[in-house]
Amino acid sequence: MPRSSLTLTFPGFTGFVRRIVLANIIVFFALAILGIAAPTAAFVAFAHLALTPALLLRGEIWQLLTYSFLHTGLFDILFSMLSLWFIGSFLESSRGPRWVAELYFASVLGTALTALLLSLTRLAWFPAHLTLTGSSGGIFGIFIGFAVLFGEMEIYLFPLPIRIRAKYLAVIYVLIACFMSLRGDVANIANLGGALTGWLYARLAPARGIAFRASEWYFGLRNAWYRRKRRRAARKFEVYMGKQGREMHFDKEGRYIDPDKDKDRWIN
């Protein structure tokens, strides 16, 4: 049975991937311009948007997401956005923008919580004052999600003439991250948390996303409550009309039963 393959060429640029890539680029250049016009303001903004566990524990909870929009260099954001574009667009074409958005931000959050947890453990190689930036954790999660769903798909690694299955490439990336973590690269330790979150989401999340399933659950409960109210109101009205000498009946859903519905009607 032939295996499908994915060449890393430029895919469509639409949906969630387009919005998140443009948002990252806008933030990058906005901070760059601010750094030229007002270096102190740029430094303060960067310090409070990046993920710093000490500040996070003091109440700056927005850092759990905002850190992912900060990049420290042109090559950093270029590589990150291209990776997000290539893999994210393919996933979006098969699972939809909502599913990819949930996968991405769940992985971003998983990366942040991993960094926070490690900072609290005070591991020997983990600095007490960590500052985490970049969308690598979210992208890592998206790639792991891609490998879970399309593990047998072969990827051409442009510009290298190499073809490898997605699941094996994911394993290689995880092993590299583990190796870099042992060498003291704390960002890769946190990114492994994003990868784990991406794996869990891809394995457990419904095909249309958690938000859609939650909305179905909510509206199902709401509609059941309204139906229950209607049935109670129908029973009360039935009792009341009985006391008035008029017989009325409602079905089990609280809908009025017309006694003349099945009778023959003559029209003169």
pLDDT digits (tens, 9 = 90+) for 181-240: 777 677 788 899 999 999 999 998 877 767 666 676 777 777 778 777 777 777 777 677
pLDDT at 124 (0 to 100): 46
pLDDT at 224 (0 to 100): 75
For the stretch 16-42, pLDDT in tens is 999 999 999 999 999 999 999 999 999
> 């601010």: which residue's tokens?
34
Number of domains in the chain: 1
Indicate whether 237 belongs to any domain.
no
Indicate whether 259 belongs to any domain.
no
CA distance 261 to 212: 40
Indicate whether 219 belongs to any domain.
no
pTM of the model: 0.78
- Among residues 208, 225, 11, 7, the alpha carbon closest in space to that of 97 is found at 208
Indicate whether 234 belongs to any domain.
no
Q: How confident is the model at residue 4 (pLDDT cuts 50, 70, 90)?
A: low
- What mean pLDDT do residues 250-254 have? 69
CATH code at position 185: 1.20.1540.10
| All residues at 6 or more sequence positions from 103 whose CB lies less than 8 Å from its CB, including other chains | 91, 141, 142, 145, 198, 201, 202, 205
- Among residues 115, 80, 88, 103, the alpha carbon closest in space to that of 193 is found at 115
Indicate whether 58 belongs to any domain.
yes
What's 51's DSSP letter?
B
118 is in which domain, residue-wise?
A: 5-205
Indicate whether 141 belongs to any domain.
yes
